[in-house]
């Protein structure tokens, strides 16, 4: 194996993460001159006709790619999904009401903490007992809660819901790290939200896709800045939106559509995940950290069985041009984030490195 001549960077960063090269090229040009206007997208008014068209297209593509019902609304806000953790109970938990959550990792834990600041919050199940290495199953969602919230993919711990929970209560999901990676029946959800910086765009924008008919029933008076119904009625323009992040998200959504939509992304991602997990399972030096049935297609987490070999393995993958695969401190080892834009050729490079290392250290 000759890795010394490899110059391409194979980006496995968990977020901000890899985006399509053609998106970078278009986005870079727009910084210099947006569509021949003589203005940079960075200095263009969010109230200008050209940017209003960008916003409308981005909103339309979110609904089109996910097959959302016509009456659903899309808004792009700042603050990350972390702000969304607090906005969810404010907008969906009735005064004196209660919410329900499942805890599957760091971000679910934070969402639960924010909900508890607002009102009665029930944790129906948790995988904390095994360091969040599996998805809890067999729990029932009470019919009397105002909403049920879960996190579809757990970036740090490498687990993912393969089947979404059923709930008679309004269903709300943080899909930050796997949105647009597979088809979703949007009509099952009162709200889907997520940060852009995984499969959709750069950090700085958060997308909210929601049924407006489910809002405005809490009996709570909200700040307009925290009111999803207000942002929906103002078409994401109540205050200045994250202009550039929305624009790059629009370009990425156009790329997903051109590539065949979320159905094509699902096939593409399944192929990449199968290639890497096969290597993890057949090479005795490596061991996956997540329960096999709950393994994330987006974030594969694994360790070396002998931690003393890590420096040598690190040197090899760095030499091959691989970036961003060190695991989160909560898990250790390695995490290969394989978002939509990561080509399978990059996964093959990592697998080649793993095989070479395993042979050398057999």
Mean pLDDT of 181-203: 97
List, for residues 218-237, the tens digit of each pLDDT value: 999 999 999 999 999 999 99
Answer whether residue 94 shows pLDDT above 90. yes
Residue 180, pLDDT score: 98
Read off the pLDDT band of 274 (50, 70, 90). very high
Of the candidates 98, 146, 174, 272, the residue annotated as catalytic is 174
Tell me the average pLDDT across 154-160.
Answer: 98
Q: 94 an active-site residue?
A: no
Residue 6: pLDDT over 50? no
Q: Which helix (H) or strand (E) holds 105?
A: none
Active site residue 107: yes
If you ran DSSP here, which 8-state letter would residue 295 be given? B
Mark whether 129 is an active-site residue. Answer: no
pLDDT range class, residue 278, cuts 50, 70, 90: very high
Please provide the average confidence, as pLDDT, over all residues in the chain.
96
pLDDT at 4 over 80: no
323 closest CA partner among 283, 287, 350: 350
- Mean pLDDT of the 94-99 span: 98
pLDDT on residue 183: 98
- In the set 198, 227, 294, 317, the catalytic residue is 198
Position 357 scores a pLDDT of 98
Q: Among 98, 107, 178, 317, which one carries the catalytic annotation?
A: 107
* Cβ–Cβ < 8 Å for 252, 23: yes
Of 155, 160, 156, 108, the closest CA to residue 329 belongs to 156
Is the per-residue pLDDT at 313 higher than 90?
yes
In the predicted structure, residue 113 carries a pLDDT above the cut 70: yes
Provide the pLDDT confidence category of residue 3 given band limits of 50, 70 and 90: very low
Mean pLDDT of 72-101: 98
Is 344 exposed, middle or buried, given 0-12, 13-18 or 19+ CB atoms closer than 10 A? middle
Q: Could you tell me the pLDDT band of residue 8, with boundaries at 50, 70 and 90?
A: confident
Neighbours of 260 (CB within 10 A): 12
pLDDT of residue 362: 82
- For the chain, list the domains and their CATH numbers: 23-259 (3.40.640.10), 261-360 (3.90.1150.10)
From residue 66, how far is each of 78, 130, 144, 168, 255 by CA, in Å?
22, 33, 29, 22, 14
């Amino acid at each position: 194996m000759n890795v010394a001549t490899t110059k391409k960077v194979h980006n496995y960063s968990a977020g901000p993460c890899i985006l399509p090269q053609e998106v970078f090229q278009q986005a870079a040009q727009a910084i210099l001159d947006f569509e021949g206007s003589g203005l940079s997208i960075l200095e263009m008014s969010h109230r200008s006709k050209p940017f209003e068209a960008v916003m409308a297209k981005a909103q339309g593509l979110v609904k089109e790619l996910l097959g959302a019902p016509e009456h659903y609304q899309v808004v792009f806000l700042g603050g990350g999904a972390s702000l969304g953790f607090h906005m969810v109970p404010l907008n969906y938990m009735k005064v004196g009401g209660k919410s329900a959550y499942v805890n599957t990792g760091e971000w679910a834990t934070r969402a639960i903490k924010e909900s508890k600041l607002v009102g009665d919050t029930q944790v129906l199940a948790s995988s904390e007992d095994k360091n969040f290495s599996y998805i809890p199953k067999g729990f029932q969602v009470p019919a009397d809660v105002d909403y049920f919230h879960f996190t579809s993919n757990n970036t740090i711990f490498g687990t993912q819901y393969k089947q979404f929970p059923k709930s008679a209560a309004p269903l709300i999901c943080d899909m930050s790290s796997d949105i647009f990676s597979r088809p979703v029946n949007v009509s099952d959800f009162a709200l889907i939200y997520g940060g852009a910086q995984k499969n959709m765009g750069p950090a700085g924008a958060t997308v909210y896709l929601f049924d407006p008919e489910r809002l405005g029933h809490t009996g709570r008076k909200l700040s307009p800045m925290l009111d999803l119904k207000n942002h929906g009625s103002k078409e994401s323009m109540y205050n200045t939106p994250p202009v550039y992040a929305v624009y790059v998200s629009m370009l990425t959504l156009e790329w997903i559509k051109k590539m065949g939509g979320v159905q094509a992304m699902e096939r593409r991602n399944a192929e990449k995940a199968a290639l890497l997990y096969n290597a993890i399972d057949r090479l005795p030096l490596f061991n996956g950290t997540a329960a096999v049935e709950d393994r994330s297609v987006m974030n594969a987490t694994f360790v070396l069985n002998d931690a003393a070999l890590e420096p040598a393995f690190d040197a090899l993958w760095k030499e091959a041009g691989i970036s961003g695969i060190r695991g989160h401190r909560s898990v250790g080892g390695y995490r290969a984030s394989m978002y939509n834009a990561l080509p399978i050729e990059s996964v093959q490079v990592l697998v080649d490195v793993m095989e070479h290392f395993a042979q050398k250290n057999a």
